[in-house]
């Protein structure tokens, strides 16, 4: 028996929550097979098994929090095969010509005429790593030669013809194909019966026809069946409880444990707010030329297929302005010999991201070295990874300055709290068309508000003002980036 304990998957993390087990007691697990998904204070992490064998015990339930070093699961390791043991059968191979449906694996040995009847003819093993999108050929089901069945010596006279009947053999072969091909093939051969007008109505109403009981001939779903199903669905929705529950006040309080990302965020924000003396300043910016520049980039061949937004220009502006005002890209460090200010000659630009798991602040390492195109790609990848829960702990370490884009939610501006370990953060408000005075005339322009919070131990008022003015200058005239 081998026990695997919870490792430290990040820098200094002390605990993690079990999100979901990928194996159960009795399952066989291979080396490097993912066996559990855990949530730390920084990210979701999939842990690979260091052992091969049979799972005998899971040491924690889903939703339970374990400390680093506590046991996760126990495996009865498989005994090594003797040197003279038979080699395992070759793995199933994909056949692009005989696959009945993309994602079906076919054992090449099963296609050999005269193979043993006891051998499994097909192996269904889920989607391909890189599935080929093709239309299933409904009119031409795959031809699989079923092995001829051998009648037992003691078979009765009446049973013998059935065993050798071509119809029986064909039916058995087709059933074997459906069973082994899995849900994908079964869904094709067992398609819900419904006329085109009925299918159109179901699509418009968002009804899955497989959930509707058909009363027509042969189980066909009719228009009346849809009407009945929709009425029942609306009744269930009307009877469903709303957010505002009833009863005693104490019973209407939902208690949510503080853990994971929320726990880490709360601790960091309290530490920042009560350790670093914040000073905040705001500036209104005419971002009309930034909007025009973004439109030109979207039409550029160099940015084809790349999402471009004003946030890209702001990120480049922050990098540019920090080089002119280095002390905003720094940290306050307490040492045995007293406090020190560490000015960073590199930019790990943090982007605050709201995700289903809470607030994450991954950062782009050495952002100062990225071209505008590379920065656009990196921002897109960072946002996608955060939304999908793929942000790694290393991606959220060693940030030097952060941007928070509250404008994406339609908010004009707010007072951001500095990310711990940094001394500055820039908030980006929404961009709206507003009346603006240009050369004595009031005309509509694209206006945004930028807000900045700074650690007053490191960044004085004049420095914070000069930094924000430089950021605003780029948003008003992106051509300055070419200087």
Residue 1's pLDDT band (cuts 50, 70, 90): confident
Buried b / exposed e along 194-221 (16+ C-beta atoms within 10 A)? beeebeebbeeeebebeebebeeeeeeb
Is the confidence at residue 369, as pLDDT, over 80? yes
- Residue 124's CB: how many other CB atoms inside 10 A? 21
Q: Which of 31, 74, 67, 37 is nearest to 52 (CA)?
A: 31
C-alpha torsion 66→67→68→73, nearest 10:
-30
The reported pLDDT for the residue numbered 453 is 95
The reported pLDDT for the residue numbered 82 is 56
- Are 25 and 5 contacting, i.e. CB atoms less than 8 angstroms apart? no
CA distance 128 to 93: 11
Is the confidence at residue 188, as pLDDT, over 80? no
The reported pLDDT for the residue numbered 67 is 86
Catalytic residue among 96, 278, 345, 456: 456
The reported pLDDT for the residue numbered 146 is 45
Per mean pLDDT, which of 115-124, 162-171, 228-237, 289-298 is the most reliable?
A: 289-298
The reported pLDDT for the residue numbered 11 is 55
**What DSSP letter does each residue of 22-81 carry, written as one string?**
S--TT-EE-TT-EEEEEE-SS-EEEEEPS--EEEEEE-S-TT-EEETTSEEEEEEEPPPP
The reported pLDDT for the residue numbered 270 is 83
Buried b / exposed e along 445-457 (16+ C-beta atoms within 10 A)? bbbbbbbbbbbee
CA distance 422 to 337: 21
Is the confidence at residue 477, as pLDDT, over 50? yes
| CB < 8 Å & 24+ apart, contacts of 183-187 | 184/101, 184/102, 184/103, 184/104, 185/100, 185/101, 185/104, 185/124
For the ranges 23-32, 133-142, 447-456, 472-481, the lowest mean pLDDT is seen at 133-142
For the ranges 6-10, 53-57, 208-212, 422-426, the lowest mean pLDDT is seen at 6-10
The reported pLDDT for the residue numbered 260 is 75
Is the confidence at residue 407, as pLDDT, over 90? no
Residue 88's pLDDT band (cuts 50, 70, 90): very low
For the ranges 78-87, 407-416, 455-464, the lowest mean pLDDT is seen at 78-87
Section 314-339 average pLDDT = 92
Is the confidence at residue 237, as pLDDT, over 50? yes
The reported pLDDT for the residue numbered 140 is 46
Residue 81's pLDDT band (cuts 50, 70, 90): low
The reported pLDDT for the residue numbered 102 is 36
Tokens at 112, concatenated: 């050999």
- Cβ-in-10-Å burial (0-12, 13-18, 19+) of 83 comes to exposed
The reported pLDDT for the residue numbered 390 is 83
Which of residues 5 and 86 earns the better pLDDT score? 5
For the ranges 191-195, 205-209, 324-328, the lowest mean pLDDT is seen at 191-195
Q: What global pTM score does this model have?
A: 0.55
The reported pLDDT for the residue numbered 483 is 62
Task: Tell me if residue 342 is catalytic.
Answer: no
Q: In what order do the strands lie in the sheet with 34-39?
A: 44-48, 34-39, 15-21, 65-67
**What DSSP letter does each residue of 290-312 carry, written as one string?**
HHHHHHHHHHSGGGTT----HHH
Tokens at 216, concatenated: 């027509």
pLDDT tens-digit profile of 279-303? Answer: 999 999 999 999 999 999 999 999 9
The reported pLDDT for the residue numbered 234 is 86
Residue 197's pLDDT band (cuts 50, 70, 90): confident
Share of the chain above pLDDT 70, in %: 74
Classify strands 349-355 and 401-404 as parallel, antiparallel or unpaired. Answer: parallel
The reported pLDDT for the residue numbered 451 is 95
Domains and CATH numbers, the chain: 2-77 (2.40.50.100), 260-482 (3.30.559.10)
- Longest Cα–Cα distance of the chain, Å, equals 107
Q: Is 135 helix (H, G, I), strand (E, B) or coil?
A: coil
Residue 210's pLDDT band (cuts 50, 70, 90): confident
Mean pLDDT for the chain?
78
Share of the chain above pLDDT 90, in %: 35
Residue 12's pLDDT band (cuts 50, 70, 90): low
């Amino acid at each position: 028996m081998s026990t695997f304990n919870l490792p430290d998957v990040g820098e200094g993390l002390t605990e993690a929550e079990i999100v979901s087990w990928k194996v159960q007691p009795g399952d066989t697990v291979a080396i490097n097979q993912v066996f559990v998904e855990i949530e730390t204070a920084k990210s979701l992490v999939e842990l690979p098994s260091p052992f091969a064998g049979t799972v005998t015990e899971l040491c924690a339930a889903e939703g339970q929090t374990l400390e680093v070093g506590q046991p996760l699961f126990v495996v009865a390791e498989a005994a090594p095969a003797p040197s003279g043991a038979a080699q395992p059968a070759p793995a199933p191979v994909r056949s692009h010509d005989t696959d009945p449906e993309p994602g079906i694996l076919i054992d090449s040995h099963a296609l050999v005429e005269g193979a043993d009847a006891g051998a499994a003819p097909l192996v269904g093993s889920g989607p391909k790593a890189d599935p080929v999108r093709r239309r299933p050929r409904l009119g031409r089901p795959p031809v699989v030669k079923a092995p001829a069945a051998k009648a037992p010596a003691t078979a009765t006279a009446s049973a013998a013809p059935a065993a050798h009947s071509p119809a029986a053999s064909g039916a058995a072969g087709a059933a074997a194909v459906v069973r082994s091909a899995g849900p994908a093939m079964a869904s094709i051969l067992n398609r819900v019966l419904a006329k085109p007008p009925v299918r159109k109505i179901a699509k418009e109403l968002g009804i899955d026809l497989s959930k509707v009981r058909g009363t027509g001939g042969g189980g066909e779903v009719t228009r009346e069946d849809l009407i009945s199903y929709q009425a029942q669905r609306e009744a269930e929705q009307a009877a469903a409880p709303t957010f505002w529950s009833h009863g005693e006040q104490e019973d209407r309080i939902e208690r949510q444990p503080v853990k994971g990302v929320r726990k880490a965020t709360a601790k960091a924000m309290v530490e920042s707010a009560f350790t670093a003396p914040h000073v905040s300043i705001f500036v209104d910016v005419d971002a009309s030329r930034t909007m025009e520049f973004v439109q030109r980039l979207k039409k550029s061949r160099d940015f084809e297929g790349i999402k471009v937004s004003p946030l890209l220009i702001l990120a480049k502006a922050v990098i540019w302005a920090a080089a002119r005002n280095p002390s905003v890209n720094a940290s306050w460090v307490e040492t045995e010999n007293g406090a020190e200010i560490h000015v960073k000659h590199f930019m790990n630009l943090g982007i605050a991201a709201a995700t289903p798991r809470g607030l994450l602040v991954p950062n782009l390492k050495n952002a100062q070295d990225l071209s505008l195109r590379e920065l656009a790609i990196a921002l897109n990848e960072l946002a996608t990874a955060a939304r999908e829960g793929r942000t790694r702990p290393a991606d959220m370490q060693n940030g030097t300055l952060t941007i928070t884009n509250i404008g994406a939610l339609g908010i004009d501006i707010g007072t951001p709290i500095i990310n711990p370990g940094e001394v500055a953060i820039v908030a980006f408000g929404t961009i709206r068309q507003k009346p603006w005075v240009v050369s004595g005339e009031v005309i509509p322009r694209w206006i945004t508000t930028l807000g900045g919070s700074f650690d007053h131990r490191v960044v004085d008022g004049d420095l914070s003002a000069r930094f924000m003015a430089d950021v605003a200058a780029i948003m008003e005239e992106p051509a300055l980036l070419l200087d």
